[in-house]
Amino acid sequence: MSLISLANQTLTTPALMDIVERYPESIPQDVCLYVREIFERNADRNNRLSAQLAEALTALNQEKITPVLLKGSAMLVSSLLHRTGARLISDLDLLVSPAEAEVASNCLRKLGYDIHYQAQVGAAKWYADLKRPGDAGMIDLHQKPPGHGFFYELSGDVTQNCRLLSWRGTSVYIPSSTYHALMLIVHDQFQDADYWVGKIDLRHLLDLRDFAREPDGIDWKHLAFLAPGKLARHAMETQLIALSSLLGVDVPPELRSGVVPRIQHRRRMLQIRLPALSRTFLLTALLDYRNYRAVLGVSGEVMPGFSLTRRVLPRLDTARFLLGLSREQRAGKV
């Protein structure tokens, strides 16, 4: 029951189907039936998401927009999703250029979508969530990759890291395994603040494993090159240590040997076993706080009035935010 509970919490229950099929005699019958039911329902939902995505892409292509598909959306159209029901997809993430965002939003609204939430015009990270009655999920429209723009300074334009793919009569960009790995790491570690509060998104860790297994795989040397500065390198190595330790992926030793990343990984493992320690372990954020301030200083994406002094301690409102985040039980995180 604890394993099923963990799988439900981390949104990875459908992935247990491989184990159910491999060891049917070793698993209780009611557990097998439960996992099969979840898997089949998820396969049906993903088929509905695929049809929804194809409709949206057709309309966007007609407006001369070829979006970049992110996360689960990319997996729906690529060879990564070998089994339709194995990966639970929350929503459909599409990335378009800032010049295309308004046209793309209006195009989707013509299909019957309403804006559920939209960031203010001029926001550093603009995005819009669009919903439509009867659909399996929302469409998330983005202008930039997830996380702080600083983390993509060495990777160039997004489309330079993608391949153009024809799918169901539409044209889309799919990120390379290496670039997709970078985006997932930045998304989890910084946009979701997992690096600071010591959480792991197990579903995305499984995605990283699948990227590594692809024919083109993850170019580990290039992935390391794409990490600008100590903060990004520490966060990347922390995730890669978990990838190697928990899922057995053959990550090069030089990408999992740093002192700070190893401390962060041990902290995350201890928090999983002893959740009450999570607030105490927030102090490990100080290992990289100076590096974080340095990132803000060179990125040019700082709000007016924000002090760039090399603080030893975070501001009180930042500390309160992280403390509150560490107490939350967020879906997908452990």
> Mean pLDDT throughout 37-66?
96
The CATH number of 1-146+160-174, from 2.60.120, 3.10.20, 3.30.160, 3.30.460, is: 3.30.460
pLDDT bin (cut points 50, 70, 90) of residue 286 is confident
Residue 311 has pLDDT above 70, yes or no: no
Delimit the CATH 3.30.460 region(s) of the chain.
1-146+160-174
Residues 223-238 pLDDT 10s:
999 999 899 999 999 9
Residues 72-95 pLDDT 10s:
999 999 866 667 788 999 999 999
Residue 93 tokens read as: 């993430």
268 contacts 198 by C-beta, under 8 angstroms: yes
Give long-range contacts, CB 8 A cutoff, 24+ apart: 73-78.
74/174, 74/175, 74/180, 75/207, 76/46, 76/49, 76/50, 77/50, 77/53, 77/165, 77/167, 77/168, 77/172, 77/174, 78/165, 78/174
3-state helix, strand, coil in the chain (%, to 5): 55, 10, 35
Residue 247 has pLDDT above 80, yes or no: yes
- pLDDT score at 280: 80
Parallel, antiparallel, or unpaired: how do β-strands 127-131 and 170-175 relate?
unpaired
